[in-house]
Structure 1
Amino acid sequence: MKGSINLMTENNLTIFEDHKIRRTYDKKTETWFFSVVDIVSALTDSTNSRRYWSDLKKQLTEQEGFSEVYEKIVQLKLKAPDGKMRETDCANTESLFRIIQSIPSPKAEPFKRWLAKVGYERVQEIADPEKSLNRARENWKKHGRSKQWIQQRMLGQETRNKLTDYWKDHDINEGDEYATLTSIIHQEWSGVSVKKHKDLKGLKSHNLRDHMTEAELIFTALAELSTRQIAESINAKGMPENKTASKAGGKIAKAARIELENKTGQKVISNENYLKSPKKIT
């Protein structure tokens, strides 16, 4: 099964309530494959969703009819919270419906409706990519983001896409190498690692950028824009040269951040987030 899947080059995230669900699209069969662990986490709120899924698999293999579903579960590389691409149990919508039936959760039925809706939306987005952008705007709006924040988030994503396009064409491998360069840029401009920044905001598996303030988004975009333009100016290829460009790009945004902080007396790096119960830093 794994060898027959023609996946998109980039992984995607979708949201059920406040839970991030990793997914990847098979263009050949026009099918979404979702991370089973992420879905288990969304349905159960388990503190150890991997262990929950491991135990559930053992239980289900003993039940009649599940063996056929189990054979359809595939391991695909999805981006882990640490930024690395790791093999993850994934299943299509049909198989997930069967798995969901075995999870006692009041969210089961709403999740089934959500899952069916996600599949339908993908068909619409293929025909009209603008629908995807409009949905992103509406989703962020529902989660309390301002019009200005949404605009900056989307502009930042465009800046990010141009940078990763450059990396892709200049001998940088998607996954670990993308994550390494991103970490260099972030550490350089912000003065903290991605992990520490997420810890400050009280985030776990959440996307850091989705919980950045408008200022944090702007400086992230400045750092990545600067990195790409510097890389282009020296025609950086491979990791050593792109690491140099990443450090230089991050430093430009760092200098701007420090100047703004000196003028305003306020730190750019913030503990603010968009969780229902934000973590308070004392």
Structure 2
Amino acid sequence: MRVALFLTCVNDLLFPDTGRAVVRLLERLGVEVDFPMAQSCCGQPHYNTGYRHETEPLVRGMAAAFAGYDYVVTPSGSCVAMVRDNYPRVAARARAEGRPDGRLDRAAETLVPRTYELTEFLVDVLGVTDVGAYFPYAVTYHPSCHGLRMLGLKDRPLKLLSAVEGIELRELPGAEECCGFGGTFAVKNSDVSAAMGQDKVRNALDTGAGVLCGADNSCLMHIEGIVRHEHAPLHTLHLAEILASTREQPYRPPVSEAKIR
């Protein structure tokens, strides 16, 4: 099995520990992980803001970077959704405009079925829910919109979290409500975005959990901004870092963060 890590732009630039956690986790489960250096942005920001033609070189580049791998795994539901939902549309749009591009067609045909969000890969491909993790804290889980609505992750993340030794998993009120990030939505509709984020933080605090986790760091980044602005006693953390934590190598919060409850 040849597996490639697609780290994504947000994780590469702002949350590299998440990528390291994915590698640690998969290697612990016996999976050898490669990191193709040619990978770049999947094109989601361009596509979502209307730069459809500018997205095309990125689609071709992604297909070339991950050619030859059996699986492409990423800790980002939004980027998986971009590949699955929009790569076929990019190729179809080029054909409709009289610009058929075999490389775009092949990218949609070959990359889409091999690209998996991390929890999908763990549960559906490896067939595991207990990954041998240890995380002795109270945790509540926020399902991001892309994972929930576009990928249909359903209870996969919760199955993985429920099997973690020592964890106290608490249900998040209004869990299926959007956190307000939505990429450029947070920029174009900042007041609405902030209000939605404040609702999410308030609901998380009501659980009494010290950690709010999710499977998309873009959402967690938005929530963390509100947490810091309000000096709330809450720590945001990608699910991969919880699953990578063990008794032998426990999660260590950054010294700048408040002590996890």
Give the TM-score normalised by the residue count of structure 1: 0.25
Higher relative contact order, structure no. (Cα contacts within 8 Å, ≥ 6 residues apart): 2
Higher-Rg structure is 1
Instruction: Judging by fraction of residues, say which structure has more helix.
Output: 1
